[in-house]
A = this chain, B = another copy of it.
Amino acid sequence: MPNIREIAKRAGVGIATVSRYINNTGYVSEEVKLKIQKEIDESGYTPNALARAIFTKNSKTLGLMIPNITNPFFNQMATVIEEHANRFGYTLFLCNTEDNEEKEKEYLEVLKSHRVAGIIASRSMCKDEYLNIQIPVISFENHISSSILTISSDNYKGGKMAFNHLYERGCRNILHIKGPKTFDATEMRYQGFIDGAKEKNIEVHVIGFESDFQVKMLEENLNNIINIEKYDGIFVFNDIAAATVMKYLKEKGIRIPDDIQIIGFDNSFICELVHPSLTTIEQPIKDLGALAVEFLIDLINGEDIVIKNYLVETKLIQRESTFLSSEVMSQSLVD
């Protein structure tokens, strides 16, 4: 791959002229333009973004720091973020932290060394490392520090919504299967759920679950609930875990929604794939991703962002795992 000097020489012009032509900055005569383009085409020249970045102090790259690209929520976020970043001319470094502090720290160093223009992070395990970072950072789902804008869906309201939905569908013996304590998002869902129950003076049960997306462990947990059949409604912290619960119930011969109604969180593709389809609280992933990128680009461009917490509304998506409206009619007669 030739460099700009080579192109300049071949085209018989100065190096600055080639630069001006490539970047469309300053005047270049039509005639010269053609000559340069010809040399570029023939040699397969592509400007070196690294050299450019060194000078312009903008690498046009972003770091995406997430626990696990295998998780539907994060891979959907990644898709939206990638698409938007692209629109602004930015390319993404993929950093899977595996919720591992060491790995995240290392990645943070790598991103710094590659001089990424900004970082979008979620569920940090080394929040202190972000305190004196000189790179613009946006966080989603989890709070990192008071100086970093966090974008998330309104998990609290979502949790309350979940409770209220089960309540309205006639459930009075409700269980919440709650996510790991270290995740702000699932913690908020739990809070919203609890508060919803208090408002209706309903006593609810909660069991915790200590790691993300590990179906096996969830199954073990479920076996510890001796009388799961005594509940008539379950709110699970996310869709995949909810699907696992559904499977467990089906295997015990418990009918959904007839015996137990169930509601998840996220509105991932899983909801439509399971039978019966899963009622859930939708997180507006497209909005979350778009906002994250737009705020980050603003920060990169030196704009001041005063807001430190940005909540996006969630939405109930009703499906078969809680009674559909037609069935609710007849059910309410019984109630």
Contacts and interface: CB of A to CB of B under 8 A. Distances in A.
Interface of A: 1, 44, 46-51, 53-54, 59, 61, 64, 68-70, 72, 75-76, 78-79, 82-83, 91-96, 109-110, 112-115, 132, 134, 215, 240, 243-244, 246-247, 250-251, 269-270, 272-275, 277
B113 A48 contact: yes
B93 A93 contact: yes
Nearest to A219: B272
19 contacts: A1-B112, A1-B134, A44-B132, A48-B113, A48-B115, A50-B59, A50-B114, A69-B79, A69-B82, A70-B79, A78-B94, A82-B94, A83-B96, A91-B95, A92-B93, A240-B269, A247-B274, A274-B275, A275-B275
A54 to B, nearest CB: 5
B76 A46 contact: no
B69 A78 contact: yes
Nearest to A72: B70
A76 B83 contact: no
Contact of A250 (B61, B91, B240, B275): B275
A215 B96 contact: no
Nearest to A89: B110
Nearest to A52: B113
Given A54-B51, A113-B48, A275-B251, A75 B79 contact: no
